Structure 1
Amino acid sequence: MRERDVEAVAQLRLAAFFDGTARTLEDDIAGLRKLLAGDGFETSLVARIGDIPVGTCLLVRRELELAHELTPWLAGLAVAPKHQHQGIGTALVRATEARAASAGVVEFYLYTWQARDFYAALGWMTVETFEQDCAPMLLMSRRPSL
């Protein structure tokens, strides 16, 4: 992700994850800029068509409050609706896995419910099912390889 991508990526993330919540565009922009200014391990990968960001996926150290001892995480996979079902999500997950492997990650995690079949098809394994905000959630893991 480049600085010029931050607002577009934040808009993708807001639409995908935070609609109807108190999280603002400014909140997400601040979080993404903090990620950009970090030590380089945490990253936001961006898929572009031409020069337009159409998808994103994060590699972060902390994600799920209930499982802080687990690290790192694949998080925030989002693809603009009109570009879904074109392989962009798969490419972003694979690129994030490659980034994790190149950083020496042995195992990393994600949580999802709606996309559980998508991730399972990509080789992610179920660790446990739990409840978050009165809804089912699935913790998954993967050992990346180069």
Structure 2
Amino acid sequence: MLRVDWLVNHMDKCNLMAEWLYREFTYEFAHQSLGHWQKEFSAGQRDGRWKCLVALEHDQLLGGASLANDDLPERPELGPWLACIFVRPDARRRGLAARLIEGICNHARQAGFATLYLHTHSERDYYAKLGWEVLERFEAWGKEQWLMSRRL
């Protein structure tokens, strides 16, 4: 049975989620070890900096999405951010990413935020289908990126 819950309630899965993110977004972690990121991500579950919503099935982690205070150091005036979206390959095409994204958007709206931001280098069209708008194109980590927002 599929469950969506906060990662802070399943901290035994935190290092695995952090590892998946580290491997998927290697360009963002070029100057950070996996162990350091796992500690930062774990601390972020407890203090809210990387509040992650996860999908689980039969107690197996399928993926997650996070509400982050800061996800783009070059734009400290923006936030909060939809960040760290990852669904493991064998669990894709089930609508899990969209469900997790909506969960983060709903949580942010209930917390009083009016707008969420994200950046992506490869999924601009996917996010546009979910109601996100392109604000600008920029270069970061040696890749073309898209800064996007969504009114809540």
Q: Same fold by TM-score, threshold 0.5 exceeded?
A: yes
RMSD in angstroms over aligned alpha carbons? Answer: 1.7
1:33-74 per-position Cα deviation (integer Å, ceiling 9, x unaligned):
211221x47511111121111101110111101111101100
Task: Measure the CA separation in 1 of the matches of 2:104 and 2:146.
Answer: 19
Aligned to 1:57: 65
How many percent identity over aligned positions? 29
Q: Which amino acid aligns with 1:30?
A: K
The count of corresponding residues between Structure 1 and Structure 2 is 143
Task: Measure the CA separation in 1 of the matches of 2:106 and 2:33.
Answer: 31
Aligned to 1:11: 19
Aligned to 2:45: 36
Task: Measure the CA separation in 2 of the matches of 1:141 and 1:121.
Answer: 13
Q: Which amino acid aligns with 2:96?
A: I
Unpaired runs of at least 5, structure 1: none
Q: Choose the corresponding residue for 2:34, options 19, 25, 48.
A: 25
User: Following superposition of structure 1 onto structure 2, how do residues 1-146 of structure 1 map, counting pairs within 5 Å?
Assistant: 1=7, 2-18=10-26, 21-38=30-47, 40=48, 42-144=50-152
Task: Measure the CA separation in 1 of the matches of 2:116 and 2:45.
Answer: 20
1:24 positional shift: 3.1
Unpaired runs of at least 5, structure 2: 1-6
Is the CA contact (8 Å cut-off) linking 1:111 and 1:140 kept in structure 2?
A: yes
1:79 positional shift: 0.7
Structure with higher strand content: 2
Task: Report the TM-score when normalising by structure 1.
Answer: 0.90
